[in-house]
Homo-oligomer: A and B are copies of this chain.
Amino acid sequence: MLSQVYRSGFQPFGQRLLPWVQSPGLSRSHRVQPSAIRHVRSWSNIPFITVPLSRTHGKSFAHRSELKHAKRIVVKLGSAVVTRGDECGLALGRLASIVEQVSVLQNQGREMMLVTSGAVAFGKQRLRHEILLSQSVRQALHSGQNQLKEMILVTNLDFHDEQKRRNLNGTLHELLRMNIVPIVNTNDAVVPPAEPNSDLQGVNVISVKDNDSLAARLAVEMKTDLLIVLSDVEGLFDSPPGSDDAKLIDIFYPGDQQSVTFGTKSRVGMGGMEAKVKAALWALQGGTSVVIANGTHPKVSGHVITDIVEGKKVGTFFSEVKPAGPTVEQQGEMARSGGRMLATLEPEQRAEIIHHLADLLTDQRDEILLANKKDLEEAEGRLAAPLLKRLSLSTSKLNSLAIGLRQIAASSQDSVGRVLRRTRIAKNLELEQVTVPIGVLLVIFESRPDCLPQVAALAIASGNGLLLKGGKEATHSNRILHLLTQEALSIHGVKEAVQLVNTREEVEDLCRLDKMIDLIIPRGSSQLVRDIQKAAKGIPVMGHSEGICHMYVDSEASVDKVTRLVRDSKCEYPAACNALETLLIHRDLLRTPLFDQIIDMLRVEQVKIHAGPKFASYLTFSPSEVKSLRTEYGDLELCIEVVDNVQEAIDHIHKYGSSHTDVIVTENEKTAEFFLQHVDSACVFWNASTRFSDGYRFGLGAEVGISTSRIHARGPVGLEGLLTTKWLLRGQDHVVSDFSEHGSLKYLHETLPVPQRNTN
């Protein structure tokens, strides 16, 4: 039967599952990596027994990040996934997107199986042709019973008889070999009731009393790597969902089983969930990893399966291997409470910690360099030379790092607890606004391991808890640098305030922990900043993704100064975000010696010139015209445009700039002040290089970064950018009703003196 219907040759999945869609175009090209295609094609010629698995089956995955290696995957769809919430039949959109996801995974070279639940009976008349397994296997196995039921179901009976089991197994393998996605259908309603003492007690006595245990049974029988169970619950919770403390459990270990509950965010204890957990644990024992997740939410259902396989934190992942370290959620809590303790230390104590860390960096130099060598050796040949350079540490790098840390320690003395404002509201009722840490920072940094102690020192100086997420390539270096940081923190008992997040954690997942993280600071390329700004859900990101800096050369600019300023701004370090990108020249300067001098200098410095449209129109032979006036070259390239006056320069900057740093060169003070007043950027300079836009050069002590945001910190950000404020009110028994229209008291609102600020 099977062979007659389906052995007509290799055809891609789409056609198999939904035969009403047929097209000559379907089997042509798939958007998968060439290697995957080759893989798929070669299988169909490989005999059953040697189907290559990319890993040895028998051990479940320890971490979500490994799920991408799953070769054979069973997706179990609960009734709630298959049918619409409004009881209007099948959830077509959802089913179609599940089909697309399964198809994508199949085309990646995986072996996919679907297990659907009884709800598919809805469409049984029409789906009859599609439900491969139910039809063919059952007919092959036995016949003569209730015809309808037999056509739809695989029940526990199929597993009890050794011969039947072997047949089922063989058929499924055969289907997979042909690159067909078997769909196993089950039906809660007609499944025989559970037999007494047939509960989950081990591989051999499992009774398939419900769809989930059937899926688990099948998954283990088929030596499946991953079983994805989709229903209308989010997964397991650590207390009843909807209660004050309920948190979705990301990873569930068999030993933890007594303490969980389950459901959606608002509903508790869905029927059958206990069976789901039991089935999952049973599958796990059999070497199959399991993820239980919600497959009904419209916002995720389009990618829930692929997300799970990609290792994203969706639902609850069942793992036998309890990792040694804490989860990132636990780390977040440790950073929060550690940070709160750090914030209540005396400023001197925080400075001591940083000094101690600086000492450790030089004292433990050999150990650090040894770890770094390991990273370099592992990266050799895999990373480009500039990246290797960023990755490598040296004695001199460590020395200057230690010097930098001591500077941070110095500027930390006057950060947390500084009184900004004092007001006498009434007699014996005094208000104070004081600086306090923001809370928990997440700093994401690329290759450079020297970032770690620097960022840690900034967090310590500002009393913030810190989650550090470094690059995989610097694992060994980061580990030792973090250990030293914790050693330094220990001297005042706040070891946990700085946490190093496991490299397996996905940045995207971290960026969603809005209950745990108050501010994200990306340290790296502008691409990293952009990615993180995009990924951060409800958490502010401090940074700048663009630095399109302008210099306007006014008609009254000094000839001597211009060339100096342009050269420094453009050529000194063109990759910096504060390097010059667009030179705006007053029209009157065209064809003057000053203009020629600038062009000559740029030629000598080998700067490639791009002409703005107006500039090009003034020239007989112009350099290539710019593609966009909004370009950050980050290289020895410069856009030149002509403007009629300072107002046009300002308008250009507002239209095409990134509000980072913009400069005017002029000898006319009035023009300069007009420019300084009117340009709406974080940094506006007069007769100075754009490159001064930098925390160290500004004298801010430690630089946290440069922000082009208009909220919170703006421009180069020092320690202050890591602080917020709180209001302290000290009264006796003051109530507001005493201050009402007919009350006995009146507001004084006297400004009280504030201790003067000790800058530097």
Query: What residues make up the interface of A, taking CB atoms closer than 8 Å to B?
Result: 12, 14, 18-23, 25-26, 28-31, 85-90, 92-93, 95-97, 99-100, 122-123, 125-127, 243-244, 298, 302, 340, 344, 421, 423, 425, 429, 431, 436, 438-439, 518-519, 533, 538, 540, 558, 560-561, 564-565, 567-569, 572, 628-630, 655-656, 672, 676-678, 680-689, 691-693, 697-699, 710-712, 714-716, 724-737, 739, 747, 749-751, 759-760
Collect the chain B residues with CB atoms within 8 Å of residue A692's CB.
Answer: 425, 429, 729, 731, 734, 736
Given contacts A20-B123, A96-B96, A687-B731, 18 further A-B contacts (CB under 8 A): A14-B89, A29-B87, A93-B96, A425-B692, A429-B688, A431-B698, A519-B710, A567-B735, A568-B735, A676-B728, A683-B729, A685-B730, A685-B731, A686-B729, A688-B735, A711-B711, A716-B727, A749-B760
Task: Report the bound CA distance from A712 to B716 in whole Å.
Answer: 16
Find out whether the CB atom of A677 lies under 8 angstroms from the CB atom of B731: no
Given contacts A14-B88, A20-B123, A431-B699, contact A93 B733 (CB under 8 A): no
Find out whether the CB atom of A726 lies under 8 angstroms from the CB atom of B682: yes
Instruction: Report, nearest first, the 4 A-B pairs whose CB atoms are least far apart.
Output: A568-B735, A699-B749, A688-B731, A31-B86
Would you give the shortest CB distance from A557 to chain B, in whole angstroms? 10
In the complex, 5 of the A-B residue pairs with CB atoms within 8 angstroms, ordered by the A residue number, are A21-B89, A29-B87, A518-B710, A699-B747, A711-B724
Find out whether the CB atom of A687 lies under 8 angstroms from the CB atom of B734: yes
Would you give the shortest CB distance from A137 to chain B, in whole angstroms? 22
Highest count of chain B CB atoms <10 Å: which of A22, A88, A423, A691: A88
Task: Report the bound CA distance from A425 to B699 in whole Å.
Answer: 7
Find out whether the CB atom of B732 lies under 8 angstroms from the CB atom of A687: yes
Q: Which of B423, B519, B560, B715 contacts A727 (CB 8 A)?
A: B715
Q: Which of B630, B685, B735 contacts A729 (CB 8 A)?
A: B685
Task: Report the bound CA distance from A533 to B537 in whole Å.
Answer: 11
Q: Which of B28, B95, B436, B751 contacts A759 (CB 8 A)?
A: B751
Task: Report the bound CA distance from A682 to B431 in whole Å.
Answer: 13
Find out whether the CB atom of B711 lies under 8 angstroms from the CB atom of A519: yes
Find out whether the CB atom of B88 lies under 8 angstroms from the CB atom of A21: no
Q: Which of B21, B87, B558, B684 contacts A126 (CB 8 A)?
A: B21
Collect the chain B residues with CB atoms within 8 Å of residue A439's CB.
Answer: 680, 710
Find out whether the CB atom of A244 lies under 8 angstroms from the CB atom of B630: yes
Task: Report the bound CA distance from A729 to B549 in whole Å.
Answer: 15
Task: Report the bound CA distance from A321 to B26 in whole Å.
Answer: 46
Task: Report the bound CA distance from A682 to B712 in whole Å.
Answer: 16
Highest count of chain B CB atoms <10 Å: which of A569, A735, A759: A735
Would you give the shortest CB distance from A498 to chain B, in whole angstroms? 18
Given contacts A92-B96, A712-B712, A736-B689, contact A421 B23 (CB under 8 A): no
